[in-house]
């Protein structure tokens, strides 16, 4: 089993997959973190922006749809990652493992 792990780790495609998956994960995480922290900073330092009613005289303010956007964005980014992982990353992992299993010992 150790030989298989060594072959996988020595495979340049494995390192390319690690890099690609890491960059994509950090991109999505960064988008979500910037959105979330921006929302929190606005609540902390300029709450009056979210207190403005959407329609004059109504009770619903801009804070509600913006908060829903933050929540829905997290679901959307998770879905995007899962879609890409299932479509691309899992196939690459399978190819790397198959290649390592079929490689002959040198």
Average pLDDT over residues 22-37: 98
pLDDT value at residue 2 = 83
> Does the pLDDT of residue 106 top 60, yes or no?
no
Interval 30-54: pLDDT, tens? 999 999 999 999 999 999 999 999 9
Domain residue ranges in the chain: 2-102
Interval 53-104: pLDDT, tens? 999 999 999 999 999 999 999 999 999 999 999 999 999 999 999 999 988 6
From residue 35, alpha-carbon distances to 55, 56, 80 in Å are 24, 27, 17
Question: Which residue from 35, 67, 61, 33 is spatially nearest to 49, judged by alpha carbons?
Answer: 61
Average pLDDT over residues 14-40: 97
């Amino acid at each position: 089993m150790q030989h298989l792990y060594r072959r996988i780790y020595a495979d340049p495609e494995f390192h390319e997959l690690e890099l690609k998956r890491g960059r994509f994960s950090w991109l999505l995480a960064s988008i979500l973190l910037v959105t979330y922290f921006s929302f929190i900073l606005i609540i902390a330092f300029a709450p009056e922006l979210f207190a403005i009613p959407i329609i004059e005289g109504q009770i619903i303010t801009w804070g509600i749809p913006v908060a829903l956007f933050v929540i829905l964005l997290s679901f959307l980014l998770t879905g995007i990652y899962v879609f890409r992982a299932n479509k691309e990353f899992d196939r690459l992992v399978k190819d790397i493992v198959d290649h390592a299993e079929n490689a002959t010992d040198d």
